[in-house]
Structures are given as C-alpha cells and as structure tokens.
Amino acid sequence: VRGLRASPRPRSAMPSWVIDRYGRNEVLRFTRDMALPAVQYPNEVVVKVHAASLNPIDLTMRSGYGATALNMKRDPLKIKSVETEFPLTLGRDVSGVIMECGLSVPYFKPGDEVWAAIPPWKQGTLSEFVVASANEVSFKPKCLSHVEAASLPYVGLTAWSAINKVGGLNQSNCGGKRVLILGASGGVGTFAIQLVKAWGAHVTAVCSHDASTLVKKLGADDVIDYKSGNLEEQLKALPVFDFILDNVGGSTEKWALDLLKKWSGATYVTLVTPFLINVDRLGVADGMLQTGVTIGSKTVKHLLKGVHYRWAFFMPSGSSLDEIAALVDSGKIQPVIEQVFSFSEVPKAFLKLEEGHARGKTVIDVINKK
C-alpha cells in the first residue's frame, strides 16, 4: 500500500480526537499522533474529512455502551491477543474528498467529493482522514457544502433503514398513508418527516411546542405537543395510522401500537431496542438469545392483534445514500443544522449534544482547526 502524501514529505500521523477509556467528556483527547489510515483491502477508500457531525450514538459509545457487541464485530475470530479498541476515534458522519482508492474501486477516484456514514465498529470521522469501504460511500449532493452534507448520512440511513428497508415504505406505495413520527424534532425525526412527505404521506409529528415551527416547515401536516396534555389521548382522538416510527421508546410502545389500523399491513417500527444492552449485560451468546426471544415474542403477540411490530437499526449503504442524494439535489430533503463547531471545539460539541432537545444536527467543521 503506497503511503498518503498530504505534504511534500511523507507523513505517518494525523490530528484526531480519540478516547483511551470510556467515560464522560473528560476522556476526549486531542492528538497529532494518530496513525494515518491506509487502504488494507481492495474495496476500501481513504477520505480526507472536511466535515463530520455528532449523533447520540457518539455519546453512548464514549461511555462504553455497546462495547461488547462492537468488539465482537471488530475482532470476530479473536485474532488479537489483547482485546482493546483504544485509542478510539468517535464520529460516524463524513463529508470530504477521496484521497486514495483500493484496486477494486472503479467508480471513485482521488478528488471526488463524497459523503458516508461509517459503521460504529470502525474508527470514526473526528480525524483528518478516515478509511471506509467503497460500498459505504456515495457522491456528495452537489447542492450542499461539506458542512451541510455531513449532517445527513447517519440519521438519513437510520431513517431509511426503518422506513424503507424494515417498514417497506417507498415512493410507489407511501402516497396517502398516515404516518406518525414520535420524537420528530431530532436528527432522525427531521429527516423522516421530509422523506415520507416526499413520498406523498400524511405526516403527524410529535415534539415539544418550541419545535413545532421547525417540523411544520419540514412538511408535517399535524403537530402534537407531547407536553400539552396526555399524549396517548391526543393521538387516539386522531384517525388511525398506517405506519409509526418510534424514536422515543420506553413506555411508548405499550400504547402506540393501538393507534395502528388493524389487519391492513400497518407497521410499528422502533429504533430503541435492547440488543446492545443485552449483549453488554449478558455476554454475546446469552445477549443474542435474549434479544431473539424478545423480538420473536413481541412480533407474534402483535401479529395476532393485526399489526406488524419491527425493530430497525442503522445500516451503512452507499446505494441508499445515492437515493438520498437524489432527493437532496431535487430539493425534497434539506439538512437541519443547529450549530457548527470548529475541529478544536469537539469537546464543546459533545457538551452541546449532551444537553438534549436538539433542533437539528451538531456539525464539526474539520478543515477549520482554529
């Protein structure tokens, strides 16, 4: 593998934000000595990161949530004698420029502007460079800057997984369907509103009152303030739904499935699942067994009541990003950004994300290192 040359002299290290242990914000450490990523497989590319963004998964990974399952994915054959993922770089979203391509990558070349969401078991994007599989990468929407583009891949692919891959909705069958989005003002919610609206659905969005203007602007037909009274009763007063996307979890699923139209193929999809918690708590084998029993029993229970119950997860996919990019360039989906931080302000950005109640994404301008 030939070395990268970002200057006249060969380099072996790059600036990066890493963690050396799990914990709160104090574990974030800036280093200029992170090893440069290199193409190790024929289908990989190296991307120079222009912008990245933060997602709730970065907070949970920083604290060690899901470490057992992610380490299994990182080293499934237990080849390493010592199990360590450190130093670990967080950050899943990237918008940047291709610097190097593996021998089996015919559709990208150095200099191409691309975007991607890097899976959580790989080194992240809060670095000068990141390596990705070419099938995780897509050409960046032409109408967006790198900062704008970096806000979309992870939330976009998470919503796409839930709505299209798991929920079965698409451009040809979504028209006229009544869709309910719980937790509509976060990153996934704001993307989901725009996606199903672009496909012709009637959208009911649940959020707090101060986010209602935003979600209406994004296309929501009805907006329900969950703080203004009993949410369950407010929603039961509306006509039944064909599809529910739940970004909230908790006690919500105890009553949300009663809002679906029975025996019509109506589907409830939740992004809040116990899979990683089970594996962390019980170990890989018992955790996966417990997860299988839970999803199986819930699926059967609700199927007998005439509705479909599903779990969804983020799935990296360059081809899905191609479809999302087309929707962005056609003006049907726009980025929703709350605040942009420079590369030197990554700890501040994490603190901002910890505050919760986001009205859009927190983006890191990596090129701006001041």
Phi, psi torsion values for 233, nearest 5 degrees: -70, -40
Phi, psi torsion values for 308, nearest 5 degrees: -100, 135
pLDDT value at 359 more than 90: no
pLDDT value at 1 more than 70: no
pLDDT value at 7 more than 60: no
Instruction: Kindly report the CATH number that applies to the domain delimited by 167-311.
Output: 3.40.50.720
Mean pLDDT rounded to a whole number for the chain: 94
Which two tokens mark 12?
């072996």
Reported confidence tier of residue 10, pLDDT bands at 50, 70, 90: low
Q: What percent of the chain has pLDDT over 70?
A: 96
pLDDT value at 100 more than 90: yes
Q: Pick 357 or 216 by higher pLDDT.
A: 216
CATH of region 13-152+334-365, choose from 3.90.180.10, 1.10.1060.10, 2.60.40.1930, 3.30.70.1560 = 3.90.180.10
Which residues have a Cβ under 8 Å from the Cβ of 85 and sit 6 or more positions away?
67, 70, 71, 74
Count the Cβ atoms, other than its own, within 10 Å of residue 151.
Answer: 31
| Per-residue pLDDT, 81 | 62
Strand partners, 66: none
Q: Which of the 8 DSSP states describes residue 164?
A: I
Q: Find the range with the poorest average confidence among 26-30, 231-235, 353-357.
A: 353-357
- How many CA atoms lie within 13 Å of 208's alpha carbon, on the beta-carbon side? 7
pLDDT value at 3 more than 70: no
| Per-residue pLDDT, 369 | 56
pLDDT value at 27 more than 60: yes
DSSP element (H, E) containing 235: helix 231-236
| Per-residue pLDDT, 4 | 47
pLDDT in tens, 183-223: 999 999 999 999 999 999 999 999 999 999 999 999 999 99
pLDDT value at 13 more than 60: yes
Record the pTM: 0.95
What residue type is assigned to position 189 of the chain? Answer: G
| Per-residue pLDDT, 278 | 87
pLDDT in tens, 147-168: 999 999 999 999 999 999 999 9
Contact 239, 251 (CB under 8 A): no
| Per-residue pLDDT, 11 | 79
Q: Can the peptide bond before residue 87 be classed as cis, meaning omega within 30 degrees of 0?
A: yes
| Per-residue pLDDT, 284 | 84
| Sequence spans of domains, the chain | 13-152+334-365, 167-311
Which is it for the CA torsion 111, 112, 114, 120, positive or negative? negative
Neighbour-count burial of 298, counting CB atoms closer than 10 A to its CB (0-12 exposed, 13-18 middle, 19+ buried): middle
pLDDT value at 47 more than 60: yes
pLDDT in tens, 104-147: 999 999 999 999 999 999 999 999 999 999 999 999 999 999 99
Q: If you average pLDDT over residues 304-331, what whole number do you get? A: 97
Q: Find the range with the poorest average confidence among 262-271, 298-307, 310-319, 350-359.
A: 350-359
| Per-residue pLDDT, 164 | 98
pLDDT value at 5 more than 70: no
Strand partners, 115: 95, 138
